[in-house]
Amino acid sequence: MIELRDVSYSYGGDALLSDIDLALAPGSFHFLTGPSGAGKTTLLKLCYLELRATRGEVHAFGRDAAALGRDGVAQVRRRVGLVHQDCRFLDHLSVAENVALPLVVSGQDAPERRAELDELLRWVGLHRRRDALPPELSGGERQRAALARAVIMAPDVILADEPTGNLDWEMSLRLLTLLVELNRMGKAILVATHDLNLIRQAKAQVAARVLRIRDRQLQVAGADL
């Protein structure tokens, strides 16, 4: 669904990423690790078409990203859910309103979608917090709200950047369970993380591939995890 072919990226100086090949196929689960500054967030931004490859090709849902205009990029992004470590919300809107925002923005805020919203809030365990304001949420609740907002448009691909970075172990496991469930529904998942315990836990549940950025290249991490 999203494919990087021989991609390199540079912010201006030397290449940060070189010769990257990556295919996020339906139902695949990838972890992305590597030292701080290795380029994990940059790689996610290339997948989200937020950055354009300096060299090589990015294909999204069969379309060459280099040939996409603004509308084309927006169409692709509607099929990709993004979860950041520091998820931002509109603090004057309730949890439910924040989660529903992508529906409103895309003009799909029809009454029948409201039932889906309720189901989604229940799925992430926030149905009783639906009227709370974002500043009232705990870190784990914020991450689950961010995940609900990322999946409300039923994306095919989910990109998560350190989604458990601020969470305790119990809450990290809860978020992992939600990601595994989405993966079992056929979504392609890519999670950038430093948390090797989380990766070990996930590998007991899904056939996840673990990739590591080292010396600008993408490697398959070995059994040393």
Ligand X SMILES: Nc1ncnc2c1ncn2[C@@H]1O[C@H](COP(=O)(O)OP(=O)(O)OP(=O)(O)O)[C@@H](O)[C@H]1O
Residues that bind ligand X (CB under 6 A): 11, 16, 34, 36-42
Token digits for 34?
């590597």
Write the CA distances from 38 to 8, 35, 108, 154, 219, integer angstroms: 13, 5, 38, 30, 12
- Say how many residues make up the chain: 225
* Contact between 83 and 179 (Cβ < 8 Å): no
- From the CB of 50, what's the least distance to ligand X, in Å? 10
Q: Nearer to ligand X by C-beta: 36 or 135?
A: 36
Q: Nearer to ligand X by C-beta: 46 or 152?
A: 46
Cα diameter, the chain: 51
How crowded is residue 53: how many other Cβ atoms within 10 Å of its Cβ? Answer: 20
Q: Nearer to ligand X by C-beta: 36 or 67?
A: 36
- From the CB of 32, what's the least distance to ligand X, in Å? 9
- From the CB of 108, what's the least distance to ligand X, in Å? 32
Q: Nearer to ligand X by C-beta: 85 or 205?
A: 85
- From the CB of 2, what's the least distance to ligand X, in Å? 17
Which residues in 65-208 belong to E strands, given as ranges? 80-83, 157-161, 188-192
Q: Nearer to ligand X by C-beta: 39 or 155?
A: 39
- From the CB of 17, what's the least distance to ligand X, in Å? 8
* Contact between 211 and 219 (Cβ < 8 Å): yes
CA 187, CA 26: separation in Å to the nearest integer? 6
Handedness of CA 95, 100, 105, 110 (dihedral sign): negative
Q: Nearer to ligand X by C-beta: 36 or 128?
A: 36
- From the CB of 82, what's the least distance to ligand X, in Å? 14
